[in-house]
Amino acid sequence: MTHFKIKPTLMAAMLAGTALGSGAQAQEVNFWYHFDNADNPMSTLVEKFEAENPGITVNAENVPWNSYYDQLYTSIVAGTGPDAALVKLNAQPRLIEMEALESLDNWLKDWDGTSEIQDNLLTLTAAADGAQYYLPVQYVVLYLYYRADMFDELGLTPPTTCDEFRDVATALTRDTDGDGQTDVYGFGFRGGKGGHDHWASLTLSRDGVGFGPKELTSDAGIAGTQFVLDLFQKDKVFPPSAPNDGFKEVIGGFQGGTTAMTIHHIGSSAGMVEALGDKVSAVPVPECGGGHWTAFGDESTAVFSAAQDKEAAWKWISFLSSPGNNAEFNKATGQLPVTKADSASWNVHEKRFVDATVASLPFAQLLPNTSETADFTNTVWPVAMQRALIGEITAAEMNAEIDALYND
């Protein structure tokens, strides 16, 4: 048997090759996301990314939405979590508390794509300490839908202020068939669960009004809620069913011609156009009491602090938020791309709805990213709003209940 002696230099090279091979093996990204859509572009995006980034493998796992966060939190505690994942802002405080997130600040500073992200998105998704742990990947912003045919019929223009909003809502509330009964109402208000965004657009826009101590119980805060109550109780521009109306009733009433305005986002625009064609359009919500407030709906990606290869994970999530790739990602979600280039060429939704969204983004806001907000949206707001609309409590009492939730 012949024996070969390996020179030290050759041995070092072989060991280096082994180390490099081990490094290449480590360039693997386990990515969790949730898509309910039958049209899932993820495999195509993974294939494109891997072709552009030889040596990095992406394992993309579609986790059912109903158990998504339960599985995510459990896996992080167990040390078996993904390297990167889709995440919502309401999960950010808990993930930060778990020390599960890797800061993206240094990557964003050096990334060419940072300037491509739509204005205000990185501000909205920043953490309370100012650090950036999330990279936006899709979003929606609420705006005002209006029946363009009814506005044209009455010679009205879309409202830009709360005073104009009240005036046009009053003009649009009418008896159209001459039977003495109101059959069209100016605004479809969502008094049931999920309607807090309608109230917020007319209340939280006011100077100095928010969820801080005594802000809602201030004169301006009470005036905002009183404005909403007066629209229903005095002006009668909401349908009588408004205290109990949810999403289905509000959108159905608008499409059916029972209401002439409502507030929602681009996710319902396809159904609007299918039902109404050019009879529907959209503009930003009106300015009320010194400012604008409209709700922002998010989906971002994050790199986890326990990721086996953080650099590879960043390359993957930044790929998803880059022009072209981001458009492909969002064609299946019904939400909007986060890049300026993709937004400018976007044709999945009608341009007027994209324009209304982009115009609303600079003043889009978030509810407080705290545990109290779940109680606010699920119980405190809908119960208090319904009671206030039917006259059981005053605007001041309603706002005091919300203030107590957040500040007592």
Structural domains of the chain, count = 2
Identify whether 2 is part of a domain. no
Same domain for 384 and 328 = no
Q: Report the candidate in 285, 282, 153 with the shortest Cα–Cα distance to residue 206.
A: 285
- What is the pLDDT at residue 25? 53
| Average confidence score pLDDT of the chain | 91
Highest-scoring range by mean pLDDT, 5-9, 11-15, 352-356? 352-356
Same domain for 220 and 72 = no
Whether the predicted pLDDT of 258 surpasses 60: yes
CA atoms within 13 A on the CB side of 159: 29
Predicted confidence band at 241 (pLDDT cuts at 50, 70, 90)?
very high
Predicted confidence band at 1 (pLDDT cuts at 50, 70, 90)?
very low
Predicted confidence (pLDDT) per residue in 398-408, tens digit = 999 999 999 99
Q: Can you tell me the distance from the alpha carbon of 175 to that of 177, in angstroms, rounded to the nearest whole number?
A: 6
Same domain for 195 and 133 = no
Average pLDDT over residues 246-273: 95
Predicted confidence band at 15 (pLDDT cuts at 50, 70, 90)?
very low
Same domain for 258 and 231 = yes
pTM here is: 0.82
Same domain for 129 and 44 = yes
Whether the predicted pLDDT of 36 surpasses 80: no
- The last residue of one of the domains, among 344, 363, 382, is 363
Same domain for 149 and 117 = no
Predicted confidence (pLDDT) per residue in 325-343, tens digit = 999 999 878 789 999 999 9
Average pLDDT over residues 55-64: 95
- What is the pLDDT at residue 28? 96
Domain that holds residue 342: 28-139+297-363
Helix (H) or strand (E) holding 145: strand 143-147
Computed from CA positions of residues 353, 356, 359, 363, in that sequence, does the dihedral angle turn out positive or negative?
negative
Cβ 205 vs Cβ 142: under 8 Å: no
Same domain for 132 and 73 = yes
Identify whether 291 is part of a domain. no
Helix (H) or strand (E) holding 297: strand 294-303
CA atoms within 13 A on the CB side of 291: 18
Identify whether 395 is part of a domain. yes
Same domain for 164 and 121 = no
Identify whether 334 is part of a domain. yes
Predicted confidence band at 37 (pLDDT cuts at 50, 70, 90)?
low
Same domain for 157 and 89 = no
Identify whether 79 is part of a domain. yes
**Which domain CATH number covers 191?**
3.40.190.10
Average pLDDT over residues 306-326: 97
